[in-house]
């Protein structure tokens, strides 16, 4: 379980700070233009930490940065600091893409109205171990590489550790900054300046501290629930006394007794 960082420790690689920095529409627009080599007149709405749930009973997905451009391109931009288990990261992009499409369709649109979309992961590690700065994936025909499916979905993985492949100079500097190096170039220096500005904002600091307190509480509740479930299994097994279970789980004997009584 990842350690919860103190406010002073946060960098552009932390989701919370990345979200706040990219709420600066000017920087967000410049990042998109540099990443995709397109012109963007304006950002219609950047939404930090957008939640998408298809219905009240379904699992929701939280997106770091959900953006739609003036010409209808939808982008989900995520900071990734862990590659997890084999296949976890690619399947996560698949899940995010599906949720974005279902969110659009949930607003009463026909599938033919699905917009061009990008799921972009900015990784602090090499997700495919080939040393490339950028990995771009779109659906192509296996029998004819030049034939694209035309579903207008693209997945990009940016590798802060990469050295292979040509990228825009500003993106190269930005990836170096993500990798912990000194900010170079006007765009990256502007991002670094925004990081400093956000971190000096007392209300944002309080928001982060409040969220972290809630996360710690959720973790405590999860740990307590896990210990309770373990106690139930141990009591059912009948191999240990209540005193031994209490000592093993670091629970008060009274709590273990109450758990046993609740099982009656």
Q: What is the pLDDT of residues 66-90, one digit of tens each?
A: 888 888 899 999 999 987 667 789 9
Q: How far apart are CA 31 and CA 180, in angstroms?
A: 18
Q: How far is CA 259 from CA 211, 250, 253, in A?
A: 31, 14, 10
**Domain ranges, ordered by start, for the chain:** 7-200, 223-262
Burial class of residue 33 in the structure, from the number of CB atoms within 10 Å of its CB (0-12 exposed, 13-18 middle, 19+ buried) = middle
CA 42 to chain centre: 24
Q: Which residues, in sequence order, are CB contacts of 53 under 8 Å at separation 6+?
A: 59, 60, 61
Q: How far is CA 133 from CA 35, 39, 224, in A?
A: 12, 22, 43
Closest CA to 96 of 126, 51, 131: 51
- What pLDDT is recorded for position 49? 53
- Give the global pTM: 0.79
- The angle, 0 to 180 degrees and rounded to 10, between the axes of the packed helices 242-249 and 253-262 is 120
**Strand runs labelled E in 28-160:** 43-52, 61-69, 74-80, 117-123, 134-138, 153-159
Kindly state the tokens that stand for 53.
């749930």
Residues of the chain with pLDDT under 70: 1-2, 45-63, 84-85
Q: How far apart are CA 218 and CA 224, in angstroms?
A: 10
């Amino acid at each position: 379980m990842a350690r919860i960082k103190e406010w002073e420790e946060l960098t552009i690689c932390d989701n919370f700070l990345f979200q706040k920095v990219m709420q600066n529409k000017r920087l967000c627009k410049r990042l998109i233009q540099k990443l995709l080599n397109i012109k963007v007149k304006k950002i219609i709405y950047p939404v930090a930490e957008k939640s998408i749930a298809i219905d009240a009973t379904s699992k929701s997905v939280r997106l770091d940065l959900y953006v739609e451009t003036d010409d209808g391109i939808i982008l989900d931009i995520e900071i990734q600091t862990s590659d997890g288990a084999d296949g976890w990261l690619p399947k996560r992009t698949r899940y995010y893409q599906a949720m974005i499409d279902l969110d659009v369709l949930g607003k009463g649109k026909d599938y033919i109205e699905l917009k061009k979309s990008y799921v972009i992961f900015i990784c602090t590690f090499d997700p495919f171990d080939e040393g490339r700065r950028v990995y771009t994936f779109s659906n192509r025909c296996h029998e004819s590489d030049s034939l694209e499916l035309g579903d207008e979905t693209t997945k990009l993985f940016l590798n802060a550790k990469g050295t292979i492949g040509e990228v825009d100079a500003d993106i190269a500097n930005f990836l170096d900054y993500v990798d912990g190096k000194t900010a170079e170039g006007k765009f990256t220096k502007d991002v670094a300046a925004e990081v400093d500005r956000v971190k000096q904002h007392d209300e944002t600091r309080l928001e982060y501290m409040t969220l972290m307190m809630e996360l710690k509480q959720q973790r405590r509740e999860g740990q307590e629930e896990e210990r309770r479930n373990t106690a139930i299994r141990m009591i059912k097994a009948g191999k240990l006394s209540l005193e031994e279970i209490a000592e093993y789980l670091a629970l008060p004997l009274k709590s273990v007794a109450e758990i046993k009584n609740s099982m009656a």
